[in-house]
Amino acid sequence: MSDNQAPVHMWTDGACKGNPGPGGWGVHIEWGAHIKDLWGGDEQTTNNQMELLAVVKGLRALTRPCTVVVHVDSRYVMNGIQDWIHNWKRNGWRTAGRKPVKNAELWQELDAEIARHDVSWQWVKGHAGDPGNERADELANRGVTELNR
């Protein structure tokens, strides 16, 4: 399979030192022989926000529509994107209890990014030896560390 037919594999992770507190996000992208790492952080955030932002930043970094396999270790992201988002959109970004969806802006950004690509989702257990996930975790922690420089 040539590079232009191979799917992009993307591992994403978020980290937070305190919840809320300083946090970081990391993305490890592999496409054929190409590798790209992204990371960043925020002084005051939550772990869930960093998990979502990692996916948004990773998908946004793709310069053209792609077939993407997103590997995440966050049940929040997996449940949200596979189960909850459809009802949230139908309910005007409100929960079944009619309360505003937490992190709605990030969910809306994620929804816009996945519309550009053919995305499939793969849950991976965190800290269990998956090389891509371990790298994304390192990058997310780097995002937090670099806040203090």
Cis peptide before 20 (omega within 30 of 0): yes
Computed over its alpha carbons, how large is the radius of gyration of the chain? 15
At residue 53, the pLDDT reads: 98
At residue 126, the pLDDT reads: 87
Strands (E), the chain: 8-16, 21-31, 34-45, 67-72, 118-123
At residue 149, the pLDDT reads: 66
Active site residues: 13-14, 51, 73, 127, 137
At residue 5, the pLDDT reads: 73
Domain ranges, ordered by start, for the chain: 8-148
Q: Which fold has domain 8-148?
A: Nucleotidyltransferase; domain 5 (3.30.420)
At residue 2, the pLDDT reads: 41
Q: Which residues of the chain have pLDDT under 50?
A: 1-3
